[in-house]
A and B are shown apart, each in its own frame.
Chain A
């Protein structure tokens, strides 16, 4: 688990396997040897994207429960919160990007691989509802391995329930901008991730439905190196843009400016 943020000053690059000193990752968390983008925590992502001190968290009272007593789940939850420092795989709030207000939901792959569960689902639905009421663009930064199996159908129904909230957002003509980061797979990929009015993928991200390991189990063919990469998706017409991490904030700034929605960031819900 060497890529967890709290694990010390030396970390192993997931892509090239070299040991990288904390200071070498730099502001954008990029491997100095192979240029691989290290996965960001939700907090790191926020810091890179929004105006300083502009993030106002929305209520997030939910907490994950092992309600089905699934073997090992409680331990996984405890480990995840200790290692990630987060209470779940998403944070939601309002923020400003270059002074333009928006509602922001940022997933966190450091918490149980960002899997979609009852908590993530409830928070995303709240983010949609707030964006709709305040008439503010909703930016969702995805980072998820898919639905969280340990919560069974309770997790799976995050897909249709979030899509129902997204449908209301669309009916109200409030823009949804999705930022697909590494990884965006399974139940997140097959629900709201590709429902953005604008879809941007971060350079180097892996995005798809079935994981490469699952695909190779069913058909042992050699998959191309760029399989399910942001760049391949862009060539195939699946995303509007592939943007390198340092340019993401400016890209979102342009998108928000182009929608030119003032909204009401301070409205009472």
Chain B
């Protein structure tokens, strides 16, 4: 058992204001990014940095980055990383565009759960998430998801329904935030303890076969290391056919879920 103090440090580190962010990686990955903004209908989401471009060695890529902001002002502007409906719909547009031009899609994730607001309900948050999950699943180009920080619930899944999943070693991916997990236990467990109740850490999810690569979160050269890991995972996917990419993507998640026992117990 970890002490309470150490557990608190896990969340503090995860949510630190100066944590590596999607825009930093995108700037290094695609120095001449053509930023695609807005869903052409409702508006745009400042938390989403998305578009397409070429790496310095000429590889065309599309990116979807979600970040929570690095100070009070930017966190407010970016809604703490909780995407609005316009954000999901913009991402859908970027994904469809990437498919049209044969660009692999890289998503960079650090977002809490869904945006709990009447506006998001009004404009169809459910439909927007479902559409993006399906579009990512049916992509005829490779997609790679990187968890830079937290990603929870269907909103994160919409960006992580991918051929490969990478995580920083202290990132989290779960059905719900540690806070929400603690809440269903009516406070019998601390938020920090909730992290250990369900498999949501990078090492745990790698051991269970979901995560393909874990990147050590060191201060030295982190952006370069993340980009190298993405390129490593992407390379073997490049020659794979469209039909095979779709089938393998689904098989990845089926394999993970297949470890769950479903037979009748005695």
Identify the A interface with B (CB < 8 A): 61-63, 65, 67-68, 70-72, 118-119, 121-122, 147, 149-157, 159-161, 163-164, 166-167, 186-187, 189-195, 208-210, 214-215, 217-219, 221, 223, 227-228, 236, 238
Contacts and interface: CB of A to CB of B under 8 A. Distances in A.
A223 B133 CA distance: 29
27 contacts: A67-B260, A71-B197, A72-B185, A118-B262, A121-B257, A149-B198, A151-B175, A151-B260, A152-B175, A152-B198, A153-B173, A153-B256, A156-B153, A156-B154, A160-B250, A161-B253, A161-B254, A186-B153, A190-B127, A193-B130, A194-B127, A209-B121, A209-B125, A210-B115, A210-B116, A228-B121, A238-B124
Contacts, number: 158
Nearest to A123: B262
B166 to A, nearest CB: 16
A67 B259 CA distance: 9
Contacts of B264: 61, 63
Given A149-B184, A215-B117, A156 B175 contact: yes
Interface string B123-141: 0111101100110111000
Contact of B262 (A119, A160, A215, A218): A119
Nearest to A207: B126
B134 A70 contact: no
A161 B134 CA distance: 9
A149 B175 contact: yes
Given A159-B154, A187-B154, A215 B253 contact: no
A147 B200 CA distance: 15
B134 A210 contact: no
A63 B173 contact: no
Given A68-B199, A218-B116, A160 B253 contact: yes
A168 to B, nearest CB: 10
* Interface bin, chain B: 35 or more
A151 B175 CA distance: 8
B36 to A, nearest CB: 23
Interface in B244-266: 250, 253-254, 256-257, 260-265
Contacts of B189: 71
Given A61-B263, A153-B205, A227 B118 contact: yes
Given A191-B133, A194-B127, A63 B121 contact: no
Nearest to A117: B260
A75 B258 CA distance: 24
Nearest to A185: B126
Nearest to A158: B257
Nearest to A223: B118
B261 A65 contact: yes
B44 interface: no
A153 B210 contact: yes
**In the complex, the 6 A-B pairs of residues with the closest C-beta atoms, listed nearest first:** A152-B198, A210-B116, A189-B126, A190-B129, A156-B175, A62-B262
Interface centre among A70, A153, A217 (most CB of B within 10 A): A153
A227 B120 CA distance: 12
Contacts of A187: 153-154, 175
B2 interface: no
A122 B126 contact: no
Contact of A209 (B129, B200, B256): B129
B180 interface: yes
Contact of A208 (B126, B138, B173, B198): B126
Contacts of A159: 130, 133, 154, 157
B10 to A, nearest CB: 18
Contacts of A236: 122
Contact of B261 (A67, A71, A121, A156): A67
Contacts of A155: 175
Contact of B130 (A119, A191, A238): A191
Contacts of B161: 160
B176 interface: yes
A50 to B, nearest CB: 27
A194 B126 contact: yes
Nearest to A148: B175
A209 B185 CA distance: 21
Interface centre among A155, A156, A187 (most CB of B within 10 A): A156
A121 B254 CA distance: 11
Given A65-B262, A221-B118, A156 B200 contact: no
Nearest to B176: A149
Given A167-B138, A193-B126, 11 more contacts: A61-B264, A67-B261, A147-B154, A152-B198, A153-B205, A153-B256, A154-B256, A157-B256, A159-B157, A160-B137, A164-B250
